[in-house]
Amino acid sequence: MFRDHIAYLSHLEAMALNEDLAQYYLWPRTPIRATLQEEIIRCVGVSDFDLSQEHSRPSQIIRFIWRLLRADLIGGNFSVLDLPCGDAVVLWQVKKTFELANCYGLDCNKGVYETHEMAQREGVVLYRAFLQHVFSFEPPEPFDLAIMLNTYRGWRSADLRQHEQNLPELANYWFGKNARFTILTATDVQVDHLHNLGFLTAELGKGEHDSKMICISRSCLPELENS
C-alpha cells in the first residue's frame, strides 16, 4: 500500500486533513502553549534545548543512538519517528547531531509551536496526523527508532472514548511490529506490563516526573554502560 515512510506518513496526514480535531484530541485538559519547555523543565528539571545536562531528554536519546550505531544495530541514515512530537525540539536535537538521519515528527498540533519552523529548517519533516490513525495502519517497513515520551506515560490521564479504550495496547502492538527500537517514558507499572508482553527493555535514565526513559525491542538491545 505504501512505497516508503514518506508515503505512509503523507497518507496519515491526508486522512487528518478534513477531520475535526475535537473528535480525536485525547488530552483536552492539557493547555497548548507557544512553548512546552517550561513544562518540560518542571517535569524533568532541564530543558530539551540543553544538551550539556546528561539527564535532559535529548541527551539521553542521543547517547543511546550512539550505542546503537557502535553496535551496528542501525545505519547512519537511520529513520526515527517521534509521535506525538510536541514542539519537535527533541527531533531537532537528534537531526543536528546525526545529519544523515531521516527524522519524522507527527503531531495533531503541527504549526502551533514556533519551534516547528526551526526543526523543519534543520531537515526534520513534520506531519499533522492523529495517533488513532497511526496505530490503525502499518508502514511498509519498520522505522529504525520510534519515540513516544510524555504521552506514553500519560495514557491514564487521556480522555479515551469508548471505542478508543484499546489504544494503549494498539500502541504496544504497533511498536513491537513497526519499530526496531522504541524509546518511551514509562511508569514502573507500564515497564512491568511491557516485560509481560515479551519486550526486551533497557533503562536509559530519568523520564518526566516519576517515570523512566526506557528502550524496548522485540529482538535485541545494545549493552548499556550501567548494565
Domain spans in the chain, listed from the N-terminal domain onward: 5-25+38-217
Q: Look up the pTM and report it.
A: 0.95
Which three cell numbers mark 34?
507557544
User: Which pLDDT score, from 0 to 100, does residue 226 have?
Assistant: 46
pLDDT in tens, 40-90: 999 999 999 999 999 999 999 999 999 999 999 999 999 999 999 999 999
Per CATH, the number for 5-25+38-217 is 3.40.50.150
Q: Reading across the β-sheet that carries 102-106, which strands appear in turn?
A: 125-127, 102-106, 79-82, 143-148, 179-186, 212-217, 200-206
186 pLDDT higher than 80: yes
Q: How far apart are the first and last CA of the chain?
A: 41
Best mean pLDDT range from 11-25, 34-48, 89-103: 89-103
